[in-house]
Amino acid sequence: MAQQNSPLDRDRYCCSICLDLLCNPGTLACGHSFCLDCITKNWDNQAVRGVYSCPQCRQTFERRPALVKNTILADVMEDLKRTQLRDASPDHHYAGPEDVGCDVCKGRKMKAIKTCLVCQVCYCEDHLQSHYEVPGLKRHTLVEPAADLQDNICPRHNKLMKIFCRQDRQTICHLCSLDEHRRHNTVSADAERNERQKELSGYQRATKARVKEVEQELEALPLEMDSIIRSADEAVKRADDIFADFIRCVEKRWSEVTEETRTEQEAGLKWVQDLRKSLEQELVQMKRSGDDLDRLSQTQSHATFLQKYPWNYSIRRSTGQPTRDIRTTQHINNWAVAVAKMKDNLALFLKDNSAHLSLAEAPVEVLPPEQPHTRAQFLTYSCEMSIDNSHNSPASDSDSWDHQGFGKDSQSWALINRPNSIQFQYNTFTIHIPGPCSSRVGVFLDYRAGTLSFYSLSDTMTLLHKVKTTFTQPLYAELRLVGLKTGGTAEFCYSLQL
């Protein structure tokens, strides 16, 4: 025997316009019922033609019928809602550990579906009905359930905080804006949230891009390790072939060279391992930061969002693919060259008791790491410099680039520190660098590697911009003060030419 439909079957009480349960139902003369709002909007669209019809049976009416709420049907709808709520699975409606509970429920709390910012209360579906029916409560502001409701209330005036003070970077209520914040730059919290949301999206993209970069750098490290090991092994083999001719004379030194080679190999491998550890730590931090940014992006409360907003958020820019410690490979290769030259002059060296084979005498090109990562490392490459006063006068023909201005040709690079922005300028191209300006800027020049890097220096160090090119002429540092009405001073602290 087929089961009969329940008198409170949901499908029988749906509006044929919105396809949802009837809300404030009204019944037409033809007998069909609709949500009052739905049928009103439907007939507003038909007003141009002057013909009004039932959306379900298409019966027409000469005049627009007066719509009245069907109170009996409205009561039936309330019974249907309560029945569905009671018959539903308790686990589905009861608040769990991660859910926001209804503040009105007694005993075990139901899940809250809305938070009233005026009442400062979280409501479940059943207890929220009064906000849909009572005229005075209909004007209240309802938002998604928020556990941090008190973050929206001013602790001083106990008023809803809908205003954001940009000067103090905090949400305030209307009374605060008229009192201690009356001369500050204030906007609505909603407008500020929209602005910061756009900025946060940029942070999220940058974080994900940096995660990808770190992952790529980590993938490249095994190749660097293999290269260091291979270079060291090849150098040891070459040294073995050369020392075989005079092993009885320099056996002791042969052993020392082999040991030093392995020492350099160990140092090179340690460099890669340290870099791996640093990148892995950064990867974990970037992923964690990415998760934090995602959670913050989804925060419903404007006040909570702005209070937890990462105002000083910054991401270290990528230095490119990791390059192995060049000193290791070149040092190893130069040992073999030094030993080969020593073979022809061995007899002469042995006559002089003071002559000792020293690998330090071999011409080794010592280069710094690819980039310093701390302020202390940065300052280890500083050196003294001399001052050239010849450019204080108007530019000569040979100095036409002084005439054009730094960064306006292919032979100069300029970092322009403006009051509210930073610009990098080269060969008439300008790049705008995000972030606040800095009163102290560090310049790191690796002439042989062809890199020129600009840093913001304080207690920490942040890479602003990096240039990769080939230098064909000596480089000189220049400091220029422009547009100062009341005078100004600046100083060179170090010269960083290598």
Question: Do both 239 and 258 map to the same domain?
Answer: yes
Residue 431: inside a domain: yes
Let me know the angle formed at the C-alpha of 161 by 158 and 164, rounded to the nearest 5 degrees.
140
**Per-residue model confidence as pLDDT tens digits over 355-403:** 444 433 333 333 344 566 666 667 666 666 666 665 554 444 444 447 4
Which of the listed residues 126, 147, 168 is the one where a domain comes to its end? Answer: 147
Which of the listed residues 35, 62, 87 is the one where a domain comes to its end? Answer: 87
Question: Do both 229 and 342 map to the same domain?
Answer: yes
**Number of compact structural domains in the chain:** 4
Residue 136: inside a domain: yes
Question: Do both 425 and 493 map to the same domain?
Answer: yes
Question: Do both 94 and 77 map to the same domain?
Answer: no
Residue matched to tokens 């209360």: 121
Note down the domain range covering 475.
367-389+403-498
Question: Do both 253 and 269 map to the same domain?
Answer: yes
CA distance 141 to 118: 6
**Per-residue model confidence as pLDDT tens digits over 74-88:** 888 887 777 665 555
What Cα–Cα distance (Å) separates residue 396 from each residue in 393, 401, 427, 473? Answer: 9, 9, 20, 18
Q: What is the pLDDT of residue 159?
A: 80
Question: Do both 99 and 223 map to the same domain?
Answer: no
Residue matched to tokens 């809250």: 112
**Per-residue model confidence as pLDDT tens digits over 242-282:** 667 766 666 677 677 778 778 888 888 888 888 889 888 98
Question: Do both 338 and 233 map to the same domain?
Answer: yes
CA distance 61 to 378: 85
Question: Do both 373 and 297 map to the same domain?
Answer: no
383 forms bridges with which residues in the sheet? Answer: 495
Q: What is the pLDDT of residue 353?
A: 41
Please tell me whether residue 187 adopts helix, strand or coil conformation.
strand
Helix axes 189-243, 247-297, angle to 10 degrees: 170
Residue 450: inside a domain: yes
Structure token pair of residue 49? 């033609």
Q: What is the pLDDT of residue 328?
A: 61
**Per-residue model confidence as pLDDT tens digits over 51-69:** 788 888 888 887 888 888 8
Q: How confident is the model at residue 333 (pLDDT cuts 50, 70, 90)?
A: low
CA distance 427 to 425: 7
Structure token pair of residue 68? 């009245």
* Torsion (CA) 457, 459, 463, 465 in degrees, nearest 10: -20
- Contact, 37 vs 23, CB < 8 A? yes
* 3-state per-residue secondary structure call for 93-138: HECCCCCCECCCCCCCCEECCEEECCCCEEECCCCCHHHHHCHHHH
Average confidence (pLDDT) over 435-442: 76
Q: What is the pLDDT of residue 165?
A: 93
53 forms bridges with which residues in the sheet? Answer: 60
Q: What is the pLDDT of residue 174?
A: 87
End-to-end CA distance of the chain: 94
Q: In what order do the strands lie in the sheet with 441-446?
A: 441-446, 451-457, 461-468
Question: Do both 376 and 304 map to the same domain?
Answer: no
How high does pLDDT run on average in the chain? 76
Question: Do both 278 and 331 map to the same domain?
Answer: yes
Half-sphere exposure (CA, 13 Å, Cβ side) for 277?
Answer: 6
Q: What percentage of the chain exceeds 70 in pLDDT?
A: 72
Distance of CA 319 to the CA centre of its chain: 17
